[in-house]
Amino acid sequence: MSNQELSPLQLKIKNNFAEVMEIIDHAAKISGRNADEISILAISKRQPLEVIEAAYHCGQLAFGESYVQEALEKMAHFQELKDIRWNMVGHIQSRKARDVAEKFHAVHSLDSLKLATLLNQYRPPELSLLEVFLEVNIGDESSKTGFPASNEEDWEALVGVVESILRLERLKLVGLMAMPPLFPDSQQSRPYFQTLRELSDYINYRVKKAAFTQLSAGTSTDFDVAIEEGATIVRIGERLLGPRRYSG
């Protein structure tokens, strides 16, 4: 599709994509990887339908949502788009576990064994395995959810958690997700992303069946640093899709 055929909204998102991909390419080279090893998860929470549609027509297929009810409404609207992939990135209440298990393709915010059990229980057998990321709190922040992961005792405890989740037959545990503390300088996030990669390596070493291959890390403010330190999925919202306007 030529630029002349794009709507103003599509053209804006296409240009945003180009800027983001340029940064991804540079960061991937620094880390000795190829840009095609990095995936963009477009954070579409609080974005209107027309923005998601425009991004889809620009080639974006994976979208991240934080609020279940909002996501379900969007899924219903886009139900004819069979290749769109919905990712849950927000905290999941137990009473919403069935909806998430039945409707989403992946969960980046698995933060308890109880939730893992519920997602496994509710995942329909006719669907593919639900991809899940273990959310870890590497900054030891009381305001954030996730399994504690700031010291050796936490890491040791995570070994048992991973082993338990791997026994759940309807889930596919693919890696880790984390969000470092928010800093004015993105370089201050680097040690946290390094820790996340080291934790992934540690779990792969301790749990032979883990085979973690994915690191969901980095947002609009620090995704370049996250990629340099090993992120395979970056979660980009307003920098890609523009200001959030949806309030339904």
Would 244 be classed as within a structural domain? no
Would 246 be classed as within a structural domain? no
- The count of structural domains within the chain is 1
Would 225 be classed as within a structural domain? yes
Per-residue confidence (pLDDT) for residue 248, from 0 to 100: 47
Would 248 be classed as within a structural domain? no
pLDDT tens column, 121-151:
999 999 999 999 999 999 888 889 999 999 9
pLDDT tens column, 164-199:
999 999 999 999 999 999 899 999 999 999 999 999
pLDDT tens column, 75-99:
999 999 999 999 999 999 999 999 9
Mean pLDDT, rounded, of the chain: 95
Per-residue confidence (pLDDT) for residue 3, from 0 to 100: 65
Quick one: average pLDDT of 199-223?
A: 97
- CATH label of the domain that carries residue 55: 3.20.20.10
Per-residue confidence (pLDDT) for residue 5, from 0 to 100: 82
Would 245 be classed as within a structural domain? no
Quick one: average pLDDT of 16-40?
A: 97
Per-residue confidence (pLDDT) for residue 143, from 0 to 100: 83
* Owning domain of residue 170: 3-238
Quick one: average pLDDT of 221-244?
A: 97
Q: For residues 242 and 247, what is the distance between their CA atoms, to the nearest angstrom?
A: 15
Would 243 be classed as within a structural domain? no
Would 91 be classed as within a structural domain? yes
Would 163 be classed as within a structural domain? yes
Angle at 152 between CA 209 and CA 192, to 5 degrees: 85
